[in-house]
Every structure is written in C-alpha cells, then in structure tokens.
Amino acid sequence: MLEFISHSKVPVWGEMDILVVGAGSAGCLAALAASQQRKYRVMLVERYGFPGGTSTQMLDTFYGFYTPGDSPKKIVGGLPDTIVNELNKTGDIFLRPNTYGAGTGVNYNPERLKLVWDQQIMAAGIQFLLHTTLVDVSLEESGQTSCIFWNKGGFFKVKAKRVIDASGDADFCHLAGFSYEIAGELEPAQSMTTTFRMSHVDLDKYKAAGGNAMLKEKMKTAVERGHPLPRKEGSVHEMCQTGCVSTVAVKVGDLSALKPEELTQAEIEGRKQAFIYERFFRAEIPGYESASIIGLSHQIGVRETRRVYGEVRLSKEDCLAGHMPEDRILLCGAPMEDHRKGKDGEDETAWQYIPGQGVYGVSYGTIVPKNSERSWVVGRCFSATHDAHASCRSMAQTMAMGQAAGLAAALSLEHDTAAAQVDHRLLQDQLLRLGAVLEIPTPLADTRRDGWGSLL
Ligand SMILES: Cc1cc2nc3c(=O)[nH]c(=O)nc-3n(C[C@H](O)[C@H](O)[C@H](O)COP(=O)(O)OP(=O)(O)OC[C@H]3O[C@@H](n4cnc5c(N)ncnc54)[C@H](O)[C@@H]3O)c2cc1C
C-alpha cells in the first residue's frame, strides 16, 4: 500500500462484482467473458484513451491461433474468434505466414480493432473507464478489494468482490502484495521495441527485388560495412492498408520498463532507431524510395516485466513435453521466441519449437496468483518462467487467458468459492460452450490469405 494516500479520505466511486484492470487483449476478453451471463456488474479500467493494449498500441498481427508448420491446426477459439469475425466483416484482416515460422498470423487493421473492442465492450454492458490508472490497493474488512485509481478527476476508489489483473505489468498484484519475479532478475529480460508503420511502399517492386530475403541480406551487409543500423534482422510485413508496412526491428535492451527514468531512455532510443531504419530503407531497399514513417507505436513495446508466482507456474519443461494438464484452460503451439542478446553478444532472436504434436496445455493455476482468494492474473504477467512466457505470450493465448479468468471470476461468485477452488471441470464446460479449444483438433486449418474460419 502507498503510505502517502489516506485511503479513508478517498471517495468511493462505486461497488463492482468483477473489476478488470487494464484493457489489453487479455483484459478486454476477461471483461467480455465475465459479462456473458449479464448477471454481474463488470468494470474495465484502462490508463490510455483506447482499448486493446499492445494489440492496438503497437501491433497488427494476432499470433497463436494456428500452430506453426505444414499441418496447421487452429487451437484457440471462443470469444477471441468473435473479435476476429467482427474485423473480417469489414475486410480488416488477412492471414499471412510469419516471417520466421511462428505460424500463420491473423493480420488486422489496428485502428479498426480499437472500434471493435469499443463496440464489444459497450454491447456487453461493461462499465468502461479510460484515461484512468490504478495506483493503490487495499483489502476491506468486508472481504472486498478496494482499488484506488487516479484520473483527471482526482483519486477515487472502486470496491470489488473479484479483481482480474490484466495490466501487463501486474500492477494490481504488485500493489496487493502478491509475489512475482521481475524479468531480468534471474535471466536476461526480453528487449523492448518501438514498432513503426510506413506508407508509400511499392510492395510489388520490393517483392520483385527479393522481398524479405533481400532485406535481410542488405541489412546484414550494411551492418558488416559499419552502417549504424541497430541490428541485422527485423520483421517487415504488409498491412491491411494498401502500400503500408509495419516493422518490428527496433531493439532496446538492458533497461527496465518498471523504472520511469530507464523507460524514458528506452522511448528516446526506440524513436532514434526507428528513424535510422527509415533512412536506410529509403536509401537502400527497392520499393521504399518514396516511403516514410507515418506512425510510431503509442509507446515502446514491452515484452515482459513482472511475472506473478501463481498456484502453478508454466515452465519450459511443460512446454517442451507437450504437457496437457487436466485443468487446462487453453492450448499453445507457439515456439519460444527470445529477443535478447545471444552468447556472442549479438542482439538477435532465437526460436525453439515445441516438439511432438507441437502443442501444450496451460493450467488454470497459472492465472491464479499464489494464495489468492479473489484475484486472477492474465496476459503477459501470468505465472510462467522466462522461457515458457516467451512461447505463451502471443495475443491468441492472452485473449484465451482473459476468457478463462472472466468465466472463473463469475463462477467463483456464483459458488462463493476462492479463486483456486473454482471447479476446473465447470470452467472447462463453460469454455467449451463458448467455443474454446482444449483438445488438439484433427482437421487442418485453412491458412490461405482469406482462409479465416475455414478448414481444409
Ligand atoms: C514489440 C512486441 C511485438 C510483439 N509481437 C507480437 C505479435 O506480432 N503477435 C502477437 O500475437 N503477440 C506479439 N507480442 C506479444 C503480445 O502482444 C503481448 O504479450 C500481449 O499483447 C499482452 O497482452 P496483455 O493484455 O497481457 O497486455 P497489454 O496489451 O500490455 O495490456 C495491458 C493494458 O493495461 C493497461 N494498464 C497498465 N497498467 C495500468 C494501470 N496501472 N491502470 C490501468 N491500466 C493499466 C495498459 O495501458 C494496457 O492497455 C509482441 C509484444 C511486443 C512488446
């Protein structure tokens, strides 16, 4: 608890059954799932002016719906599908293979996605508050959790029977006293990335000149001849908007996103790197002669900070063994994708694939903070080791975690049980009714450009 805030003097804004902190892909799904029955008062609070978190702040591709390789299976379903279906209605998606083989991604228009999140949240009757940041937490004698927020109106508190931490940085768990690991403490943390979007790229010319393979080669030779490019690799892909590309290439390491001075430094460095790439692309890459940056990510992309210790901790061994725990709430087939320095000190990215069937299940206990009675933790701060997190942090999986937590919170209210005591069979029944995937499906998914929703 923050000592300078006198909790008794902070006005009460209202009481909620289920409060979700953070409207990223995990938080939006948690709120939508929690309000499925239209039985509980559900509130979703977000510090920025739009929903989506990383999905709309910096990205444009959902990974994790499909397994990688030549026999793709669709392994996430339910409410996450409804988001993609909405985008599909207006022609705002296409499927594309991942440059480095992490499986087919669902490429979307991130600006349209903000609208879709808004519409889904409002249609579900969720109390939605933007530009509002969680700053403190205390436990009330009544058993409710009191969450103190700050916005331009001042400080206020919301009393909630159940809380889902979807803040990405585990702000709620940190303030409520749950234990966690900070990325970088035990193992090197994943680096941060400012993504950027460029317009006026002649993609036909780019492809005719060799496309991504040509780009990789040119970046490599440029670095070797002493060009100030930050690194030799990076992912460039077309967007839904004609002639526009999105680039994930900037790499800022060895700074903590939890320390504001370091995060400031990271933002400045990320922007600097983005414009070095712009200069390089325009000068050296066929098709980019008239291109320019039209948008930097809303903030630098943060891959990991706090990872909460849960009732269960997903480990590298679980992933590599294709472990299917009985109480699984979602499936994942993404490789461990590690963005950090290699042994030779080079800043590149390493992939380690899931062997065998290429899929593992994620236990319900990974979204329940250890010793938690009434809270859950979802998305990039869920309970996993560094390596396991590097596999299970794609947005299809973070949405699936949110879906499970929202249903679990509602179940725990219905049966008056603690988070860890929620009957996983009831939870799985509800997940399956919504369309979640808990067994590896047999049919192959159609991963052609317009194949969303079809099987081969
Ligand atoms: C650079 C980068 C590239 C990536 N590439 C891909 C990709 O191509 N495809 C893919 O599937 N995955 C990708 N990932 C991983 C994936 O995007 C994230 O793991 C996932 O989006 C995390 O979702 P989340 O909901 O847990 O967190 P976030 O999306 O970070 O959402 C957390 C939300 O909580 C809000 N918040 C934070 N603190 C507070 C507070 N105190 N009070 C109120 N609100 C708060 C934030 O503003 C944010 O909206 C990438 C990640 C990064 C950083």
In this predicted model, what pLDDT tens digit does every residue of 37-67 receive, in sequence order?
A: 999 999 999 999 999 999 999 999 999 999 9
Binned at pLDDT 50, 70 and 90, residue 454 comes out as confident
Ligand 1 atom at shortest distance from the alpha carbon of 393: 19
Annotate the chain with three-state secondary structure: CCCCCCHHHCCEEEEEEEEEECCEHHHHHHHHHHCCCCCCCEEEECCCCCCECHHHHCCCEECCCECCCCCCCECCCCHHHHHHHHHHHCCCEEEECCCCCCCCEEEECHHHHHHHHHHHHHHCCCEEECCCEEEEEEECCCCCEEEEEEECCEEEEEEEEEEEECCCCCHHHHHHCCCEEECCCCCCCCCEECCEEEECCCHHHHHHCCHHHHHHHHHHHHHHCCCCCCCCCCEEEECCCCCCEEEECCCECCCCCCCHHHHHHHHHHHHHHHHHHHHHHHHHCCCCCCCEEEEECCCCECCCCEEECECCCECHHHHHCCCCCCCEEEEECCCEEEEEECCCCCEEEEEECCCCCCCEEEEHHHHCECCCCCEEECHHHCCECHHHHHHCCCHHHHHHHHHHHHHHHHHHHHCCCCHHHCCHHHHHHHHHHHCCCCCCCCCCECCCCCCCCCEC
Q: Can you give the pLDDT at residue 2?
A: 62
Ligand 1: does its nearest atom lie under 6 Å from the Cβ of 45?
A: yes
pLDDT (average), residues 348-377: 93
How far apart, in whole angstroms, are the C-alpha atoms of residue 252 and residue 341? 11
Nearest-CA residue for ligand 1 atom 14 is: 394
Q: Can you give the pLDDT at residue 364?
A: 98
86 alpha-carbon distance from chain centroid: 19
pLDDT (average), residues 131-157: 95
Binned at pLDDT 50, 70 and 90, residue 341 comes out as low
Binned at pLDDT 50, 70 and 90, residue 17 comes out as very high
35 pLDDT above the threshold of 70: yes
Question: How wide is the angle at C-alpha 31 spanned by C-alphas 334 and 26, nearest 5°?
Answer: 20
Q: Can you give the pLDDT at residue 339?
A: 67
Q: Tokens at residue 322, please? A: 């294709």
pLDDT (average), residues 165-193: 95
Q: Can you give the pLDDT at residue 3?
A: 65
Q: How far apart are the first and last CA of the chain?
A: 54
99 pLDDT above the threshold of 90: no
**Rounded distance from Cα 220 to ligand 1 centre (Å):** 30
Between 223-237, 339-353, 432-446, the lowest mean confidence (pLDDT) is in 339-353
Q: Can you give the pLDDT at residue 28?
A: 98
pLDDT (average), residues 383-408: 97
| pTM: predicted TM-score of the whole model, two decimal places | 0.96
Which residue in this structure is represented by tokens 């997190």?
A: 389
Ligand 1: does its nearest atom lie under 6 Å from the Cβ of 248?
A: yes
Between 5-14, 72-81, 381-390, the lowest mean confidence (pLDDT) is in 5-14
Do 159 and 144 contact (CB within 8 A), yes or no?
yes
Ligand 1: does its nearest atom lie under 6 Å from the Cβ of 338?
A: no
Do 182 and 308 contact (CB within 8 A), yes or no?
no
358 pLDDT above the threshold of 90: yes
For 260-303, the pLDDT digits (tens) are 999 999 999 999 999 999 999 999 999 999 999 999 999 999 99
**Rounded distance from Cα 8 to ligand 1 centre (Å):** 33
Which of 55, 56, 57, 59 for mutating ligand 1's site (highest number of atoms within 8 Å of CB)? 59
pLDDT (average), residues 407-421: 98
- Tell me phi and psi for residue 360, to 5 degrees: -130, 165
What share of the chain has pLDDT > 90, as a percent?
86
For the beta carbon of residue 357, count every other beta carbon within 10 angstroms. 13
Name the average pLDDT for the chain: 94
**Rounded distance from Cα 227 to ligand 1 centre (Å):** 32
Between 18-27, 309-318, 337-346, the lowest mean confidence (pLDDT) is in 337-346
Q: Can you give the pLDDT at residue 343?
A: 45
Q: Rounding to the nearest 10 degrees, give the CA dihedral for residues 242, 398, 165, 185.
A: -100
342 pLDDT above the threshold of 60: no
Nearest-CA residue for ligand 1 atom 51 is: 303
Q: Can you give the pLDDT at residue 348?
A: 65
**Rounded distance from Cα 275 to ligand 1 centre (Å):** 23
347 pLDDT above the threshold of 60: no
Do 71 and 442 contact (CB within 8 A), yes or no?
no
**Rounded distance from Cα 56 to ligand 1 centre (Å):** 9
Q: Tokens at residue 67, please? A: 């397994």
345 pLDDT above the threshold of 60: no
Ligand 1 atom at shortest distance from the alpha carbon of 395: 11
Binned at pLDDT 50, 70 and 90, residue 350 comes out as confident
Which of 2, 54, 308 for mutating ligand 1's site (highest number of atoms within 8 Å of CB)? 54
239 pLDDT above the threshold of 90: yes
Q: Which residue has the higher pLDDT, 228 or 118?
A: 118
340 pLDDT above the threshold of 90: no
* Residue (of 315, 310, 312, 277) closest to 293 by Cα position: 277
Residue 196, strand partner residues: 247, 296
Q: Which residue has the higher pLDDT, 190 or 107?
A: 107
Q: Rounding to the nearest 10 degrees, give the CA dihedral for residues 298, 302, 303, 308.
A: -120
pLDDT (average), residues 56-81: 96
Q: Can you give the pLDDT at residue 4?
A: 67
- Tell me phi and psi for residue 114, to 5 degrees: -55, -45
pLDDT (average), residues 5-29: 94
Q: Can you give the pLDDT at residue 97?
A: 79
Nearest-CA residue for ligand 1 atom 49 is: 53
